[in-house]
Structure 1
């Protein structure tokens, strides 16, 4: 059974069906399975409010398929804690709930990691404009503002002045949901760490690292940090890979995360120090898990997670990459209607091209993104080395011209 697959969670559905299992989905909206394109693959769906845990449990137990459930997994960042609690309460294999909470809620993770001597940016939790002003004064500008329970780079911004910071705090105070889930109204004010960002894609099984790969990450310039390019495995700081993985695993150990996939984000600062940015107790999104890891390593994170939940063996691949892959995202340069992406029809002829897709239709209104969900589309290329894969995808992106009406 899966909880509310988002678009990044469709890999779970693919893996479940490939294994010949039936699929039951818990969802908060009747329309979600149809809108996300997997309604025809379900054995059944249960529409229920995830915030009412008692009703959630009772509704599931009353379903005609309850006795056939063998595993319960999350298929979206926002429900990792709910899935852990639900699976554990019903006797299914579950990742440690406290560890999930420390990953899901950034303030909890910051506190735990600080106690375990994992280096993180200085951070202060706030709720009000007054608290935000005081926190920024204590840390000193520039500062990062981010929701304590956010996801997908939504509302993560850099601020150099009090005016800018308080404007964004007031705006965030009006935001009640993120990807359809209620937010708790708490934010973090943090010091800004300048440096190269990475993510580490890890699979833990009984406290053992079964797979780990370092992803090179690039974003738009501040104030927003929209992700623009990922390379698997990293083309930069390759000699640092063992240390990067060790740092990420130490962070997981610090919060007690012993089982399942994790997407750990960190920075190697310009001063040469590692800083933990986020621990995400889930599979990496942005096509990292659905495409890049599968092509580069033959690693299927979704299938491995299902095997772990069912206590079945999974053939983890070698840490030696078969090849390298890179994904680059298209961004709207200005606001207006999308008229054309010139050169799109020739992308299949570009060196190393694997796949490409647009998220928007011609004629739709587009604008420069402030979060990942607002990008136009993507290109994925592969190559014999990370540098080659990165150059292929950059070349393919440069071959395109985005035409937008004023």
Structure 2
């Protein structure tokens, strides 16, 4: 059987899991790198056989170029781990007759307004919400119970996500989120306002093939209360009663059906109201965290999420192979802890040879400017580790809370 080829959109080389998964799956990668990433041909991952520079801000021209490339040297699939590019990847797959989730499913997985409507229509747990369509639309939030959360409809990470405690503060919050969207997304984004969900937060990694959904892992994500929602931890498996695990799995499987996600990976984030009842925050049609979710699944349950997701993306059946799991896997997302121009990051170098640390991915460096939340600059670093238990992972994260610190100067200061 010949080696299939897949186009991989906007994957950073510093995040290795999908490249390693492609090698294990015997799949060649044509990489479309991010515009801001320098590529050293001598240091490309083994699976990358070609680098194709495309400007995805012009989707029509990018699709035309991919059509030309496919005619001259056909590829077997296209995928991305970058959430904003999921709809474009689905459009390309449809246009070229490649395996994919379909543009309708891609829209539902990326547009929180559509997702909420589909989940509600399927009878799933959904908070009260109103949608704001258009840059100048206003909302009557009188039917909602405050506090509420304002979100860009097609945002990512914590960009523009803000809790509003009083009706009188909503108008100012909407204006601020729209300003952030114009600055970061180049558009005055449509918004959604939904009732705030309290309770602990969890992430679920799943993989679907021809409508059969396998829930691979459930991990603890903390209990952020706002007003902003900076991510800090991810530890799996979560310590939950069997009945709660069953409720989460039922909700996630039903959400796959409601959104129409029958093939490929999903990264779902949810909250447990009163610690028992799952309410989905969002479901991404991709391997989460640009591949971090593979590390979590592999360390917690031994499944090869990255390789199987790529197999599905080129139209092959997942092999569902497993390895011996460490017992628990974790990601410590270094918190910004402030804003301004970074002058120093303390505590990372000491972790590079730590026996529990599998990967240390530094994304921000001295000289970079961090904007204050609810703006979103990026994550300073990921500290990915494996442990014998989630209790041990939690203890390690408490140590990192005390040992990692970022120093800032005012934004206008020289680096």
**What TM-score results when the alignment is normalised by the length of structure 2?**
0.83
> C-alpha deviations, 1:76-101, integer Å up to 9, x for none?
21121222222123221122332222
Q: Using the alignment, how far apart are the partners of 2:409 and 2:143 within structure 1?
A: 45
Match of 1:99 among 105, 119, 126: 105
Q: Indicate the residue corresponding to 1:45 in structure 2.
A: 52
Question: Which secondary structure state, in structure 2, belongs to the residue aligned with residue 266 of structure 1?
Answer: strand
Comparing 295-304 and 105-114, the one that deviates more: 295-304
Alignment of structure 1 residues 2-401 onto 2, 5 Å: 2=7, 4-7=9-12, 11-16=17-22, 21-26=27-32, 31-34=35-38, 40=44, 41-49=48-56, 52-53=59-60, 55-63=61-69, 66-127=72-133, 131-132=137-138, 134-175=139-180, 183=187, 185-218=189-222, 220-237=224-241, 240-270=244-274, 272-285=276-289, 288-317=292-321, 322-347=326-351, 352-366=356-370, 369-370=373-374, 373-401=377-405
Q: What's the CA shift for 1:263? A: 0.9
Q: What's the CA shift for 1:307? A: 0.9
Contact map agreement 2:59 2:88 (CA 8 A) in 1: no
Comparing 91-100 and 225-234, the one that deviates more: 91-100
Question: Which secondary structure state, in structure 1, belongs to the residue aligned with residue 206 of structure 2?
Answer: strand
> C-alpha deviations, 1:126-155, integer Å up to 9, x for none?
1479854x4323313211100111111211
Q: Using the alignment, how far apart are the partners of 1:123 and 1:319 within structure 2?
A: 42
Q: Using the alignment, how far apart are the partners of 1:358 and 1:25 within structure 2?
A: 21
Q: Using the alignment, how far apart are the partners of 1:52 and 1:129 within structure 2?
A: 22
> C-alpha deviations, 1:250-284, integer Å up to 9, x for none?
11111221110001111110274221211211111
**What TM-score results when the alignment is normalised by the length of structure 1?**
0.85
Q: Using the alignment, how far apart are the partners of 2:364 and 2:242 within structure 1?
A: 36
Contact map agreement 1:94 1:309 (CA 8 A) in 2: yes
Unmatched 5+ residue regions in structure 1?
Answer: none
Comparing 306-315 and 119-128, the one that deviates more: 306-315
Comparing 196-205 and 67-76, the one that deviates more: 67-76
Question: Which secondary structure state, in structure 1, belongs to the residue aligned with residue 113 of structure 2?
Answer: helix
Contact map agreement 1:219 1:226 (CA 8 A) in 2: no
Contact map agreement 2:199 2:223 (CA 8 A) in 1: no
Q: Using the alignment, how far apart are the partners of 2:262 and 2:148 within structure 1?
A: 32
> C-alpha deviations, 1:26-54, integer Å up to 9, x for none?
57x7x34527999954524152546544x
Contact map agreement 1:383 1:392 (CA 8 A) in 2: no
Does the C-alpha gap of structure 1 residues 316 and 45 become closer, same or farther in structure 2, counting only changes over 3 Å? same
Comparing 141-150 and 82-91, the one that deviates more: 82-91
Unmatched 5+ residue regions in structure 2?
Answer: 1-5, 411-415
Q: What's the CA shift for 1:191? A: 0.6
Q: Using the alignment, how far apart are the partners of 1:401 and 1:68 within structure 2?
A: 48
Q: Using the alignment, how far apart are the partners of 2:403 and 2:324 within structure 1?
A: 32
Give RMSD over aligned pairs: 3.4
